[in-house]
Structure 1
Amino acid sequence: MRKVQYGVAVSLDGYIAGPNGEVDWITIDPEIDFTAIWAQFDTLLMGRKTYEAAMQRLGRSTFSGKSVFVFSKNLVTKDHPGVTIVPELTSSWIRSLKNQSGKDIWLMGGGTLFRHLLDLGEVDSISATIIPVLLGSGTPLMPSPYSPTMLTLSTHRVYKSGIISAIYEIRK
């Protein structure tokens, strides 16, 4: 069975975007091998806001060769070629996707979608890239309500820039 990994950049004080959706604080470290990270996945899951930001920042060609699913009640499939728009996320839908053959599934950004999948018990690991910056406000990594989820550190790396990459497995 394929696994869902939440891949996210997060500030040291726990935000994944600034108060107005800013991500200009996320620095790109040349030591991080994005090609190797990208090669682990053949399926991408995103909420509408993450998808729109990724399209603006990276462009459509970035997703070529990947199955892309965007969760939105507002987007229309015909306006987004090569992308599957999913209006409602259910446990049976995600389990069906996980049971298909292929590489693992990357849940990209978006705290609300992450929270929903976590509450469904369908997130297997979290790959957090901790950026050495304090934002003070913004979109939290983990939206409310209070609901502790126990994690086990699987691997980590500290870069010269001060960025820390850590992968945590969800204890089930």
Structure 2
Amino acid sequence: MRKLVYYIASTLDGFIAGPDGSDPTGPDGFWPIPEDYLKHLIAEYPETLPAPARAALGVTAQGTRFDTILEGRRSYQIGLDAGVTDAYPHLRHLVFSRTLGESPDPAVEIVATDPVARVRELKREDGKDIWLVGGGELAASLYAEIDRLILKLSPTTIGSGIPLFGRDAAFEPAAWTLTDHTVLGSGAAYLTYERAALGG
């Protein structure tokens, strides 16, 4: 059975976006993108680059980790605001929204039903792992379904913003086992955790 992987960039103080939820790596973003961070991303996670970035960087590798991406309505809106209806045409793309209605792109599936039920269906299908890109609200609703966390940790603090699991996540302690890590010269780190039994 394939896994649901929350692969997300986070500040040291646990935020994935600023208070307004805008793209932290965009033109007005606060997120530094050092050269070694980008090189590691291209080498290890090429499929997680959006199509415009792949084109600009000359990245053609399909990648080996994910074939499906899940995102919430607010995360998807960032692309729509930039005129991009499908930032990941090289992946199966699902957007979870009860308000969006018809999909702005024929290749993007809008899911208005229970996210947990849909993810359980996806896990039973054949294929590579499923990438949960965010945002925090969707991650909170899928909290119990997340099998692996991959944090792209930036040596940055912002004090306030959108937390890793959104502002309204329930208190539900979970244990995670560190299974891989790469610390870069710039101070950024890629940390991989697998869900573990609580207390072990």
C-alpha contact 2:149 2:192 (8 A) present in aligned 1 = yes
Partner of 2:41: 33
Q: What 5-or-longer segments of structure 2 have no aligned partner?
A: 48-62
Output the amino acid matched with 1:36.
E
Q: What is aligned with 2:75?
A: 50
Q: In structure 2, what is the Cα distance between the partners aligned to 1:31 and 1:58?
A: 27
Q: Judge conservation of contact 1:77–1:83 (CA < 8 Å) in 2.
A: no
Q: What letter matches 1:20 in structure 2?
A: D
Q: Which amino acid aligns with 1:72?
A: S
> If the length of structure 1 is used for normalisation, what is the TM-score?
0.89
Paired position in structure 2 for 1:113 = 138
Provide the identity percentage. 35
Aligned residues of 2:6 and 2:150 also touching (Cα < 8 A): yes
Q: How many residues are matched? A: 170
Partners of 2:116 and 2:141 within 8 A in 1 = no
- The farther-off stretch of 161-170 and 29-38 is 29-38
Distance, in Å, in 1 between the alignment partners of 2:82 and 2:42 is: 16
Alpha-carbon contact 1:31-1:159 (below 8 Å) kept: no
- Ranked by relative contact order (alpha carbons within 8 Å, sequence separation 6 or more), the top structure is 1
Secondary structure class of the residue paired with 1:79: coil
Q: Deviations over 1:60-103 (max 9, x none)?
A: 46412311110001112342321000012243321111111111
Gaps of 5+ in 1: none
Contact 2:8 2:16 in 1 (8 A): yes
